[in-house]
Chain A
Amino acid sequence: DSGVTQTPKHLITATGQRVTLRCSPRSGDLSVYWYQQSLDQGLQFLIQYYNGEERAKGNILERFSAQQFPDLHSELNLSSLELGDSALYFCASSAGQDNQPQHFGDGTRLSIL
């Protein structure tokens, strides 16, 4: 158990819809990272937050947005969903000092019908 909690585990929805994925980091971790992993693809970094502020941005679509709340949990919002958005979405957290490793949650499997 990494200590990172992601909900829901599975999500099935239709094209054009909007969903919110939630991540609770490990106790004491200030940084949260979001990744997308499509079928048989590598992990694509989306975005990082540190103590409520955006710190690094990867290949995140404009239809996607994220935020980190004062209690340090984070949400990833995906809107105008397309079939290609079907993927595993992972959240990871780290202590915040940049050399500390990331610890990953079990992911949310998003299926777009």
Chain B
Amino acid sequence: DAKTTQPTSMDCAEGRAANLPCNHSTISGNEYVYWYRQIHSQGPQYIIHGLKNNETNEMASLIITEDRKSSTLILPHATLRDTAVYYCIVRVTGGYQKVTFGTGTKLQVIP
């Protein structure tokens, strides 16, 4: 699986959009980008995933650059409950490989 690079921490004002970047410059053509978050010590929560097109669901939007070397997770209106560690991972389709979670980005939403 390709490695990902994320900033260690970010702050965002409550009500504003939170934009979390992820670099995956060695991503392969058959690897999806997944985003998860972990609030305190709870089980990680799936947010969104995509291959090359931008994706949106009720939680967030995922913007993947045309060359697929980076992506941005957008939380359109951050709330205090969005304070969490956000993980970006890439994983190949087909076959079975170990899953690598990096250290993630600790997002602090500030009142």
For residue A106, CB closer than 8 A to chain B, the reply is yes
Tell me the bound Cα distance from A92 to B42 in angstroms: 13
For residue B76, CB closer than 8 A to chain A, the reply is no
Tell me the bound Cα distance from A26 to B57 in angstroms: 21
Q: Which of B9-17, B65-73, B96-104 contacts A (4 or more CB under 8 A)?
A: B96-104
The answer to whether A2 and B43 touch across the interface, beta carbons within 8 angstroms, is yes
The answer to whether B98 and A45 touch across the interface, beta carbons within 8 angstroms, is yes
The answer to whether A104 and B45 touch across the interface, beta carbons within 8 angstroms, is yes
Number of interface residues of A (CB under 8 A): 29
- Count of chain A to chain B residue pairs whose CB atoms are closer than 8 Å in the complex: 68
The answer to whether B99 and A45 touch across the interface, beta carbons within 8 angstroms, is yes
For residue A25, CB closer than 8 A to chain B, the reply is no
Tell me the bound Cα distance from A45 to B99 in angstroms: 6
Tell me the bound Cα distance from A105 to B94 in angstroms: 24
Write out, one digit per residue, whether chain B residues 78-111 have a CB within 8 A of any chain A CB (1) or not (0): 0000000001000111111111111110000000
Which positions 12-47 of chain A face chain B at CB distance < 8 Å?
Answer: 33, 35, 37, 42-45
Residues of A close to B92: CB separation below 8 A: 98
The answer to whether B43 and A90 touch across the interface, beta carbons within 8 angstroms, is yes
The answer to whether B49 and A99 touch across the interface, beta carbons within 8 angstroms, is yes
Given contacts A42-B104, A50-B96, contact A98 B91 (CB under 8 A): yes
The answer to whether A102 and B95 touch across the interface, beta carbons within 8 angstroms, is no
Contact of B98 among A57, A97, A99, A107 (CB under 8 A): A57
For residue B21, CB closer than 8 A to chain A, the reply is no
Tell me the bound Cα distance from A97 to B38 in angstroms: 24
Residues of chain A having any CB pair with chain B under 8 Å: 2, 4, 33, 35, 37, 42-45, 48, 50, 55-58, 88, 90, 92, 97-99, 101-107, 109
